[in-house]
Amino acid sequence: MFNTRPKHIIFIYALLNTVTLAGLWSCRKDVENFRPYPSTLEAIQQLLDQVPSATSHSTFVLSGTVPDTALITPGGVRVFLTDNEHLFSDTDGNPVPCSTCQTLRVEVTEALRKGDIIARGIHTVSTDGSLLESGGMLRINVTCDGKALQLLPDRKLKIQVPADDPADDMFVFEGIMKSDTFGSWADTGLPVFQSDWLAPNQVDVITGYELFSPHLNWINCDRFVGEPTTSFCVDLPPEFNPENSRVYLVFENMQSIAPLETDLSSGTFCYPMAPHGFQVRIVSISKTEDGRYWLGNKQTEIGTNATVEVQPQEVQEQQVLNFLKNL
């Protein structure tokens, strides 16, 4: 059974170009431009910023009285704003009715593909280091006249994420930040539901996940992989190190990515809680001091306390982008 459209909900669709509706709302697309950074890792990140499609980041700008509304991104993600006079507060906890905002800005960033997950600087590892399988992750930021908002303590944000084959036993996870950098995922204990809803054409039925998040910023529907784990390390040539390289385990048959960190005693890149027996692709992205880019790409299986050698190959910037876009 699928959910039909409630009559009291207004649906707002994100468009590629700016659309303005006087006195009520407008929405537009943000495009991230490439600008070189001096340090190596910053240069790598600036290159990775070009991987996600412009349509994976939607900006909705609303003004005036905001009715119960569903914001719909080009990727089909739906974010529901309901009872908007009692939905948000400022960072000090003071209620902020939407009608008091001359400009209510809602930004939705999607990371639904493996290449986009790497490019956004996130992963699928929990606060205790356990591997997660993701059903889709989003970052939702809301501001009122330029000031950051958060959800009131007794409110939750309804979100629907399309998925071709939604899995069981998913839960809502909260992104834990380290300053302005993503750190890990914390389990909120709130369940994620499988759901059906009508497409904008009112004919096709979309399947996916429905969740209710008690917070903004990074949100993920996940489940623990829950298999026996082992240490898994990658040995790169000595010219590739934590100051010029990023290394990931990309799991072949599920939406899971684990970043590898340097083991100072061995000089290798390791993930200590890799699930044994899983098929993975080792991906390394490097930029050496001479300005050249290097890409490591090796398929293997996680073995007990294994260390796998990877030999990165010199590539052009566009080759890195193409690889991640097709990952």
> How sure is the predictor about 26, in pLDDT bands with cuts at 50, 70 and 90?
very low
Residue 156: HSE in the Cβ half-sphere, 13 Å Cα cutoff: 14
Mean pLDDT of the chain: 89
- Close Cβ partners of 119 (under 8 Å, ≥ 6 residues apart): 48, 49, 50, 51, 52, 324
Which H or E element spans position 323? helix 317-325
**Higher per-residue confidence, 126 vs 31:** 126
The 10s digit of each residue's pLDDT in 155-205 is 999 999 999 999 999 999 999 998 888 999 999 999 999 999 988 877 889
The alpha helices in 39-179, defined as continuous H runs, are 40-48, 114-119
At 211, list the tokens. 């969740």
pLDDT in tens, 219-273: 999 999 989 999 999 999 999 999 999 999 999 999 999 999 987 777 899 999 9
Instruction: Determine the 3-state secondary structure of 303 from DSSP.
Output: coil
Q: What is the pLDDT of residue 24?
A: 39
Can you give the pLDDT at residue 4? 44
